[in-house]
Structure 1
Amino acid sequence: MAFLIFAIMGSPVAVAASAQPPATADRPGCAELARSDLSKLRDAPAIILSARLVKPAAGVPNYCEVKGYGWRNVEFRVRFPIERWNGKLVVFGTGGQAGSIDVDDPVIRDSRTGAALRKGYATAEHNGGHLSGGLDAQWSYDNESALLDYGFRAPHVAGLVAREIVRRAFNSPAVRVYYSGCSNGGREALQMAQKYPYEYDGIIAAAPSLFWSDQFVALGWAGRRFAGPNPVLNDAALRTLHAAVIAQCDHLDGRRDAILEDPRRCRPDLAKIACQAKAESGCLTQDQIRVAQEIYDGPRTPEGKVIASSSAMPGSELTWSTFSIVGPYSDSVMRFQTFTPPAGPDFVPDENQLADYVRRAGASDAIIAATNPDLRRFKANGGKLLSFMGWSDAIGGIAATIDYYRTVERLMGGRKDTQDFYRLFMIPGMNHCTGGDGAYDVDWLDILDAWVSRDVAPDVVRAVHPDADGKPVFSREIKPFVD
């Protein structure tokens, strides 16, 4: 513990307490927060290990950074601007298997906390309730309490602790509290709406990994088709495949921009790019065509029944090499999280047993999956939910996200009663969480805040494709998803 405290307190950007703005009778100074007793905080007893004033560069305002642990092993970091706090708090979700809070430097251009601090928000992050590498699930092996933290308790605890720290810092509670996350963080965001509907005024759930076992069965299956140094679909083949898909389907949305507005409308004829005679480039072999069609279709039974949904839509081909990374990650999830009791480190997935794996995953899905469509309490409390996902997100679970939205729509009584509080945006040409050939950069936090604070519903959002310096190259208007 002494080493941990030294590592946290010994940063060269920390400044002496005497350099901080003086405390007032009704507001403690930043360093004084380190002495705050949070041991009796309801549902989230915590200990603060450090509080320091940070003077960053790159236009980020001076902020106070508070670190500590909440029950049981939820590491948290809360930041808030020393001056001009806007009265609001945003809690950011994790990614992958979580395990760390040290992933976001506010001075980096694409930093989510930096952007929020510039707007005057207080921010909070957490580690998902454990310490680990981001793509290794072994931490959860026979560790049910940590799995509960990861599943839903850690973001709940982090939010409660952050609220209390901000309240003590400003002698006033936050007037709005938001949760924002992508991928696993998007799953956490949906868990907050489903399990803690009274805690957040607004939620951003991006590319949520909500159908847990289904998604990882599909990703592990796809990963095995890209394993090793010489996959059947190498980079050259993926470029050929993608070019053919765009050539065949780009016209379907009425604009030729090499981006598919709705790739579900695209049915590429791969026979048209089959190699003829002795051709070796600009075409696909029969093996390559077979694997490409398998990736589009996802794992199926010998009778053709879908086992788990593929997220690899036409137009996403240039991202498929990512399967070589998420495949081993998925195998780790299968070994240590999918089954009860866990399969263990020696488990090797058998492709003939995939349907059985999905059936056996009920216990872990009950903890981790975020599939409950009953958002009536969240809506009744005035909550607003923004969800978005890229049509070129080959790993995020497009079918699951759309199916979840449809299910909520049915339960809530129709589109109008759903879109009063929950809107899904599908982004053409966007990859997992960000990036891609399309226009994908949107200030979702501003949009959510306008909806919550001023009842300005997002009937359309303007997305921008930035260059390497962050300057806009082109834009696209995107409307909420309807089917």
Structure 2
Amino acid sequence: MAHRLIATTAVAAAAATLAGCSWMSSKPDSTPATAGATAPMRNVADTCRSLAGQIIEPGQIGASAKLASGPARIDSASWQSAAPIAVAERGPTPAALITPATPAYCKVLGQIAPVDLKAPPIQFQINLPAQWNGRSVQYGGGGFNGTLITGLGLLPAARFDQPAPLARGYVTYGTDSGHQTKPGEAPQAFALNDEAALNFFHASYKKVRDVAVAVMGQAYGRAPDKLYFVGSSEGGREGLMMAQRYPADFDGIFSRVPVLHWTGLQFAGARNGIATMDGGWIRPAQVKLVHEAVLAACDAADGVADGIVSDAAGCRGRFDVSRLRCQTSGGAPASDNCLSDAQVKAVQALHSPYRFPFTLANGLTDYPGWGVSGENTTSYGPTGGWLSWWLGKAPPAVPPAADNSIAWVYGAGALQYVYARDPKIDPRQVTPEKYAARVREVSALMDATNPDLSAFHARGGKLIVLENMADYAQSPYAGIGYVESVQARMGAGKTAEFLRLYTAPGVDHVGSGAPSQVDMLQALADWVEKGRAPAGLQLVEQAPKAPFTVQRARPLCEWPAWPRYQGSGDVNAAASFACTR
């Protein structure tokens, strides 16, 4: 893609629109993270309000990566009083039910001006705690972003009963990735602008990181000792992109259910939606039928029938959807007790790889099929299993409708806005063959599939990847395949020095269906700062109300191991299971 980013004159014009004074703080592109660690720390309560109106010059934003940028401006800086935890009765995800307690902190809101003045600014929020531990956490986004990530919520997979990073003394921050989704507008509409698209692909996260380091330097009088990035889904991809493109910027990264093979996911997701047209759409009662058939074939294989398929990879070989085919002829409609030919073919498409006719970035030629288990997960409303991610409330429409599945709305929209760059085109007409040059271009910019993490390893970085095995928003086998590619490139022994891959059986994309909660930030920090590699981690499932009782627990197993019941003991206790291959 020819990123026609307006050069010096546009930067000057952008700077002129952001009136205010400028400062020279620690330069994030050249100053080590530990620089200034011994300097006396300023009281952020005293410096907070003085941050408003400040300007960070373009030379401090993305310069080491040769990213063009306008200046950043602090629009407001306000002191926030401590607030207690709050729990909602309902929410779209487990984590959304909890608004964690916050300490007293300085809330900083600002924006980074674009170079192309037709592009939106990059909005950001930075939270500066009164009691700083010298560390920071950048939160990743989700979906197509377009909403400001505040950095105030729970981290992905976090336990409900443990403090959020800000309450632990971390500076936290997030961004909208350079665009704001507007009511009535497709979430992918921003991608028609080159700079907005590049910011979403990878540039905005680097730019905001640099701004955050500069703000920390101004607020506290020193740079952070350690920097962490934590994200899930799209945010998981962003974390991997930071390790691959900007390996010097973060000491530790936690990437949960990352949509790393983004190009493959969009085409495969659209393919899966098309498969449910013309009689292939599967009704809710039939989804339950498939779910129960998977459990009958695989649930007890781990030693206990408890509704969780622990050996999800092994179950792929034991479950055959064709056995649910209706014994009818002439294409008669399926009952709730069987599947028609079209429905069987739709499920087989979901389980099959999507193959490209040419090679994408980093040598990939296909996107892996989805696995089995968790088909009927609906623990937290419309965010689990097939009904949310793959099927929706009605068969796919052209153009996509509100009651369609997330996979169709996202995949079809990506094909229209990102690849064809034609909002009116029928997504069924957007094929890799017709748009080969653009597909390769986006893959090179967006897909976080580069297995060469040698620079990240050399700087001492640590990376933890967590895949949920009942995920239908993206295939967990994409992340598994990526880690295996790193092992092939760098060697299994060297990879083990800095990278861990864990899998959570029965858990869907957002954490529903089975034990899914673990304090991964602490595990990551201990590995980075104490050299203590993760060990003995457990997944728990907590009641989403105080006192957040643990209802079930499992050992968190490193791939390819999975938890097997040992034949005795409480089936809801992690101690009754052992990781096995």
Give TM-score, length-normalised by structure 1. Answer: 0.85
Partner of 1:327: 408
User: Structure 2: how far apart are the matches of 1:26 and 1:320?
Assistant: 48
Q: CA deviation at 1:401?
A: 1.0
Specify whether residues 135 and 28 from structure 1 end up closer, same or farther in structure 2 by C-alpha distance, changes over 3 A only. Answer: farther
Q: Partner letter of residue 146 of structure 1? A: A
- 1:422 is matched with 499
Q: 1:48 — aligned with what?
A: 74
Q: Which residue of 2 aligns with 1:39?
A: 57
Report whether the alignment pairs 1:383 with 2:464: no
Aligned to 1:67, the other structure's residue is in SS state strand
How far apart are 1:460 and its partner, in Å? 3.6
**In 1, Cα distance between the equivalents of 2:215 and 2:57?**
12
Q: Secondary structure at the match of 2:147?
A: coil
The whole-number CA distance in structure 2 between the counterparts of 1:417 and 1:411 is 10
2:309 is the alignment partner of 1:309: no
State the alpha-carbon separation in 1 of the partners of residues 154 and 559 from structure 2: 34
Contact 1:105 1:113 in 2 (8 A): no
Gap change, CA 1:75 and 1:110, over 3 Å in 2: farther
Corresponding residue of 2:111: 69
Which residue identity does 1:462 align to in structure 2? Q
Closer, same or farther in 2 for the Cα pair 1:392/1:311, shift >3 Å? farther
- Per-residue Cα deviation, 1:174-218 (whole angstroms, up to 9, x for no partner): 111001111111111111101111110001111111112111001
CA contact 1:182–1:208 (8 Å) conserved in 2: yes
| Residue 131, structure 1, aligned to residue 180, structure 2 | yes
Corresponding position: 1:86 with 2:104: no
1:103-142 matches, cutoff 5 A: 106=153, 115-132=164-181, 136-141=187-192
| Residue 479 (structure 1) aligns with | 557
2:352 counterpart (297, 307, 322): 297
Please state how far the C-alpha of 1:291 moved relative to its aligned partner.
Answer: 2.3
What is the identity, as a one-letter code, of the residue corresponding to 2:298?
C
**RMSD, matched Cα:** 3.2
* Amino acid paired to 1:451: W
Partners of 2:44 and 2:367 in 1: how far apart?
Answer: 55
Q: Contact 1:459/1:480 (CA < 8 Å) preserved in 2?
A: no
Paired AA for residue 67 in structure 1: L
| Aligned residues of 1:441 and 1:463 also touching (Cα < 8 A) | yes
Would you say 1:465 and 2:531 are equivalent positions?
A: no
CA deviations over 1:64-84 (Å, ceiling 9, x no partner): 1001012422211000212x2
How far did residue 350 of structure 1 move? 3.1
Q: 2:474: which partner in 1? A: 396
Superposed, which structure 2 residues align to 1:348-367 within 5 Å?
A: 348-350=426-428, 353=431, 361-367=439-445
**What residue in structure 2 maps to residue 257 of structure 1?**
306
Q: Which moved more, 1:343-352 or 1:46-55?
A: 343-352
| C-alpha separation in 1, matches of 2:152 and 2:160 | 6
Q: d(CA) in 2 for partners of 1:351 and 1:241?
A: 31
Alignment of structure 1 residues 162-241 onto 2, 5 Å: 162-226=212-276, 232-241=281-290
Structure 1 residues 170 and 352, CA gap change in structure 2 (3 angstroms): closer
SS at 2:345's partner residue? helix
Counterpart contact for 1:310–1:399, Cα < 8 Å: yes
Does the CA-based 8 Å contact 2:139-2:149 persist in structure 1? no
Consecutive unaligned residues of structure 1, counting only runs of 5 or more, are: 6-22
Secondary structure of the 1:350 match is: helix
Instruction: Give ranges in structure 2 of 5+ residues lacking alignment.
Output: 1-17, 19-40, 63-70, 86-100, 115-120, 358-363, 377-384, 391-404, 562-581
Q: Which residue pairs with 1:29 in the alignment? A: 47
From the superposition, tell whether residues 459 and 110 of structure 1 become closer, same or farther in structure 2 (CA, over 3 Å): closer
Q: Secondary structure at the match of 1:57?
A: coil
- The residue number in structure 1 matching 2:206 is 156
State whether residues 261 and 478 of structure 2, in contact with CA within 8 Å, keep that contact through their aligned partners in structure 1: yes
Distance 1:115 1:92, change over 3 A: same
Structure 1 residues 113 and 87, CA gap change in structure 2 (3 angstroms): farther
Q: Is the 8 A contact 2:61 2:211 kept in 1?
A: no
Separation in 1, partners of 2:151, 2:458? 34
1:443 to 1:209, Cα distance in 2 relative to 1, 3 A: same
- How far does residue 471 in structure 1 lie from its aligned partner after superposition? 2.6
Letter in 1 for 2:416: R
SS in structure 2 at match of 1:317:
coil
DSSP 3-state at the match of 2:217: helix
Residue type of the partner of 2:167?
R
Find the aligned partners of 1:352 and 1:36 in 2 and give their Cα distance.
46
* Count of paired positions: 452
